[in-house]
Amino acid sequence: MTAVPIPGISAKRAAVILDVTPRYVDRLVSDGKLPKAVRHAKAGLDRNVVERVSLDRMRPGRPHRYWATSREAAEILDLTRKKVGVLAALGQVPAVRHRRRWYFRRHQLEVVANAREAMKWADT
């Protein structure tokens, strides 16, 4: 993931991304495993770093409330896994490549799925 840092997410928002409690996020910060983008700020965690740590912590077969795998994305979008991978590689579906796998932010998939559904209704 290479992107411009987006400082300012809170521990509560980071907890959703990491699928842990806000208290555990504070512990990760104090242990130095999750650096703050803005020192001494209440909402100073870098979203890109939090997402990278979240992907590092993911375990196969364990559902995650922020990330979706290719299989889950295929179900949400009503496509095959192969088609989802192709669309991700082309940049037509927002995705992150991590350790040779595609991961999708669930909320973005829902937006894409709703748009696809709206397009179907518009065509009829």
Q: What residues make up the domain containing 103?
A: 67-123
Amino acid at residue number 4: V
How much is the pTM?
0.78
Q: What is the pLDDT along the chain (124 residues), one digit of tens a residue?
A: 555 555 578 889 999 999 999 999 999 998 988 887 666 666 688 888 999 999 998 887 888 899 999 999 999 999 999 999 999 999 999 999 999 999 999 999 999 999 888 887 877 6
Sheet holding 96-98, edge to edge: 67-68, 101-105, 96-98
- Give the total number of structural domains in the chain: 2
CATH value at residue 117: 1.10.1660.10
Length of the chain: 124
Contacts of 8 (CB under 8 A, 6+ apart): 37, 38, 41, 43, 44, 45
Q: Is residue 4 part of a domain?
A: no
Please indicate, yes or no, whether residues 22 and 51 belong to a single structural domain of this protein: yes
